[in-house]
Amino acid sequence: MRAMTEEHESPLHALGKGVTAPPAGVAPYAAARQSSSARRPPVRSLLLLFARLLRPSLTVALALPVVWGMAQARWRQVDIDVWSMGLLLIANGAFCIGLNLAGQYVDFRRLLRTDRTKLDRKQSRASASTGHDKNPAQDVFHLLQSRIVRPGTVRSLVLLALSLCALAYLWLGLLAGWPLWFFGALGLLLAAVSILPAVRYSQRLWIVGDLTLLLAVGVLPALSAYYTQIPAIDRWIVAGSMAPALLVWLTLLSYNLLTWRRDWKIQRGTAVAALGPEHALDGAAVLSVAAFTSVLLLMALGALPFSSLLVLGALPIFLHAFTRNSQQPVTQADALYIIDRSTQATILTALLWMLALWNG
């Protein structure tokens, strides 16, 4: 009889498949090379997967405060510095990507401390297929949980993104003045506060974490964008930055609809996990109306031009996203719909705002 070779499964370091034993007659050195080449992760597939899971549409939507501040400076008849605008957009994008990855990495470390049995790849996929999160690769957390990527890889990406953000703000400080360093350092500090375990997994202090996110991803980028063009900050600019801050904050938190069951299991404090999806969506609808109402109030006070009414065109999309579904519970398809519509509405708000004030 012919000798049967036995298959051996290789460790899953990345997006790799099982490695079979070399056939008879193959030299040990060649077999070692064959085994190492089989273990080598397909870099292109891994990069494409990361590009999809890094939420590029969310990163684009979170650029609204930067566009908001630039448009307000342009409305005051200031020529926009293209270099400053480009650097600020790079810094904001890198900051949002790093914050997203850091939050998921902290959640994964929380899972390690609570239940290490969740690390098993087959169990995690089975639980994902029977639970609320049907797609095991919907975010980087699932890649870590399934051992498809290493935690060190995610840590390196976080450090890379935050280093890029710090370098961009360093250059902005040289171009526009030292207050940009203050804005950048304060944003990084507030982001660090929001992912502290004592805040992120507290039953009460998670509200503080959400408020720090509101400032870090909404208010400070808008003030930074305005200051790069006009080296002055007044109360009307601060008041005007609250509208884009609320909208991008709601868009960022809408992603919690996908993971609220997981957040509840690891005791992460979010509005969706604490109040339930239905009540959280009601609150989001109220806050979106409040954001657009603040634009009307500032327009009535003379702080914004009459053309600001154009941004109201995005309000129906927000309301339709947050009030479309009243089922119990919100399904994954509903969550994806809400995320897509809120992201599209945020991007549309940025475009309408730029159109309203750029030549106003």
Q: The domain spanning residue 89 has which CATH number?
A: 1.10.357.140
Residue 73, both tokens = 């400076």
Percent of the chain with pLDDT over 70: 77
Banded model confidence at residue 276, pLDDT cuts 50, 70, 90 = confident
Sheet strands (E) in the chain:
7-8, 19-20
Banded model confidence at residue 182, pLDDT cuts 50, 70, 90 = very high
Listed residues 233, 252, 281: the one ending a domain: 233
Are 238 and 342 contained in the same domain?
yes
Return the amino acid letter for 360.
Answer: G
Half-sphere exposure of 346 (CA within 13 A, CB side): 30
Residue 177, both tokens = 């003045």
Are 156 and 284 contained in the same domain?
no
Smallest CA-to-CA distance from 66 within 186, 219, 169, 210 is with 219
Are 116 and 99 contained in the same domain?
yes
pLDDT tens-digit profile of 7-48?
Answer: 443 333 444 343 444 445 444 444 444 444 444 445 566 666
The answer to whether residue 86 sits within a structural domain is yes
The answer to whether residue 106 sits within a structural domain is yes
Residue 318 has pLDDT above 60, yes or no: yes
The answer to whether residue 49 sits within a structural domain is no
* Cα Rg, the chain, nearest whole Å: 23
Residue 259, both tokens = 């993971």
Q: What is the mean pLDDT of residues 143-150?
A: 84
Backbone angles phi, psi at 7, to 5 degrees: -85, 140
Q: For residues 201 and 266, is the Cβ–Cβ distance under 8 A? A: yes
pLDDT of residue 360: 57
Q: For residues 332 and 325, is the Cβ–Cβ distance under 8 A? A: no
Return the amino acid letter for 83.
Answer: W
Return the amino acid letter for 345.
Answer: A
Q: For residues 247 and 346, is the Cβ–Cβ distance under 8 A? A: yes
Cβ partners under 8 Å of residue 295, min gap 6: 243, 304, 308, 311, 312
Residue 53, both tokens = 């899971």
pLDDT of residue 351: 93
Helices and strands (H, E) in the chain, number of each type? 19, 2
The answer to whether residue 225 sits within a structural domain is yes
pLDDT tens-digit profile of 196-248?
Answer: 999 999 888 899 999 999 999 999 999 999 999 999 898 999 999 999 999 99
The answer to whether residue 245 sits within a structural domain is yes
> How far is the C-alpha of 139 from the C-alpha of 158, rounded, in Å?
15
The answer to whether residue 41 sits within a structural domain is no
Number of domains in the chain: 2
The answer to whether residue 173 sits within a structural domain is yes
Are 229 and 247 contained in the same domain?
no
pLDDT of residue 54: 74
User: Which domain, by its residues, includes 241?
Assistant: 234-260+272-354
Are 221 and 80 contained in the same domain?
yes
Range in 37-46, 86-95, 151-160, 287-296 with the lowest mean pLDDT:
37-46
CATH of the domain at 280: 1.20.120
> How far is the C-alpha of 253 from the C-alpha of 237, rounded, in Å?
24
Say if pTM beats, i.e. exceeds, 0.85.
Answer: no
